[in-house]
Amino acid sequence: AKSAGRNTHKFYSDTMRIHSLHRLDIENELREAMNTKQFQLYYQPKVDLKSWSVVGVEALIRWKHPERGWISPSEFIPIAEESGLIVPIGTWVLKEACRQIKAWRNTALRDLRVSVNISSEQIYTDDLLLTVKDAMASNTIGAESLELEITESLLMRDVDSTVQTLNEFKELGLAISIDDFGTGYSSLSYLTRFPIDTLKIDQSFVRDLHIDNDDAAICAAILAMARKLNLNVVAEGVEIDEQLQFLRGHGCNQIQGYLFSKPLPPAELLALIGDNVRK
């Protein structure tokens, strides 16, 4: 589709040309980053609201470019997805997360469940099941240590084949959560067809929860529905106590956000939560 677009539109505006050069730059730099180990994973705690203990962490990729410094995933992940590079990068993320789970085995973090973001390109083009099995087996990781985060929009792209793929992961024993819930226009009736454990309320609904009645209503509705469907709920982007109180009052299970901690490199995570992990 990309090259067809290039042939049919003969004239780029200047801004488009700059934009596309920048993209190609980043594509090449992404390849280089893979080869020279410029990526790292940071981990952000998910806190249980009943016990106020850390029950899991989300692995988030970080890119430190030798000249440009830190480049945000919201900048480079979309380019990695369009260029197909997300497949090898995603494989690296899975392997690195499993390696880290193994390294935590002799620490207080041994029971943490680590969730990994899976891009739609990975589900639809890669033999993801094999990649996951392989990463788990070569680090002797049990399925209870791993969770996959899948965005809501991905579910709707090809419902039947996604249900089938997710069922295969469930059979392995992995947990599955729906990321950015509320933003993907999925039909609610499909929710029960997917073998999912957790909904993650998108941070755009959490941000103004304490001052915006509409956002509060959406969060309350998601929480009420999830309770009836027996789904766990994680609220993303929780930054202040008023948000926390509202979410707790409406039966939210877990929060993730700067209120408790930003994403951290492994050593800092251990220092922060070594004493506060659910035993």
The residue ranges that bind ligand C2E (CB under 6 A) are 44, 60-61, 72-74, 77, 90, 93, 117, 119, 179-180, 203, 236-239, 256-258, 263
For residues 73 and 266, which CB has a smaller minimum distance to ligand C2E in the complex?
A: 73
* CB 23, min distance to ligand C2E, A: 17
- Residue 254 binds which of Ca ion, ligand C2E, none (CB < 5-8 A, kind-dependent): none
CB burial of 5-36 (b: ≥16 within 10 Å; e: otherwise) equals eeeeeeeeeeeeeeeeeeeeebbebbeebbee
C-alpha separations of 86 from 96, 107, 133, 160 in Å: 15, 31, 18, 23
Burial of 3 (0-12, 13-18, 19+ CB in 10 A): exposed
The answer to whether 93 touches 114, Cβ cutoff 8 Å, is no
For residue 46, what are the β-bridge partners?
Answer: 56
The answer to whether 56 touches 43, Cβ cutoff 8 Å, is no
The answer to whether 122 contacts Ca ion (rule: CB under 5 A) is no
C-alpha separations of 36 from 30, 65, 101, 183, 244 in Å: 10, 10, 23, 35, 41
For residues 168 and 239, which CB has a smaller minimum distance to ligand C2E in the complex?
A: 239
The answer to whether 180 contacts Ca ion (rule: CB under 5 A) is yes
For residues 87 and 201, which CB has a smaller minimum distance to Ca ion in the complex?
A: 201
Q: Which two tokens stand for residue 34?
A: 């893979």
The answer to whether 147 contacts Ca ion (rule: CB under 5 A) is no
Interface with Ca ion in residues 188-247 (CB under 5 A): 236
The answer to whether 149 contacts Ca ion (rule: CB under 5 A) is yes
- Residue 52 binds which of ligand C2E, Ca ion, none (CB < 5-8 A, kind-dependent): none
* CB 206, min distance to ligand C2E, A: 8
* CB 25, min distance to ligand C2E, A: 19
For residues 31 and 62, which CB has a smaller minimum distance to Ca ion in the complex?
A: 62
The answer to whether 121 contacts Ca ion (rule: CB under 5 A) is no
Q: Which two tokens stand for residue 49?
A: 């609201």
Positions in the binding site for Ca ion (CB under 5 A): 117, 149, 179-180, 236
